């Protein structure tokens, strides 16, 4: 079993707030495809990182996750690219972690 997490930004690369309908669409797509989804949207997470120039960058993100039995890397690569286009991002972080159900 794997936990797949997507870090979806609240703002696009030009600083414009992402429309709420985009998040709702992602939740509906994932729930339909995988039978469930969890979105942590009430209190956005803040990510900080250092870019190639040494400047600290900041993102406010909503964490969306699904549980899957098998990680289909090709499907997730295509979906990540779709998210990058829709959310107008250079990169959207999508990661998978092996988990054990207790």
User: How many whole angstroms separate alpha carbon 66 and alpha carbon 46?
Assistant: 21
User: How many whole angstroms separate alpha carbon 101 and alpha carbon 16?
Assistant: 39
The total of structural domains in the chain comes to 1
Q: List the CATH number of the domain containing 33.
A: 3.30.70.120
Q: What is the pLDDT of residues 10-28, one digit of tens each?
A: 999 888 999 999 999 999 9
User: How many whole angstroms separate alpha carbon 88 and alpha carbon 50?
Assistant: 20
Region of 91 on the Ramachandran plot (φ > 0 left; ψ -120 to 50 alpha; else beta): beta
Structural domain boundaries, residue 58: 2-98
pTM for this prediction:
0.87
Q: Over 80: is that where the pLDDT of 102 sits?
A: yes
Cβ-based neighbours of 67, under 8 Å, separated by 6 or more: 1, 2, 3, 4, 34, 36, 99
Q: What is the pLDDT of residues 74-90, one digit of tens each?
A: 999 999 999 999 999 99
């Amino acid at each position: 079993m794997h936990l797949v997490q997507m870090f979806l930004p609240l703002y696009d690369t030009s600083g414009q707030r992402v429309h709420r309908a985009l998040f709702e669409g992602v939740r509906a797509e994932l729930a339909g495809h995988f039978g469930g989804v969890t979105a942590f949207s009430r209190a956005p997470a803040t990510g900080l990182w250092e870019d190639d120039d040494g400047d600290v960058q900041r993102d406010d993100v909503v964490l969306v996750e699904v549980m899957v039995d098998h990680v289909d890397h090709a499907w997730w690569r295509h979906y990540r690219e779709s998210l990058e286009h829709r959310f107008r991002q250079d990169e959207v972080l999508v990661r998978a972690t092996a988990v054990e159900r207790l």
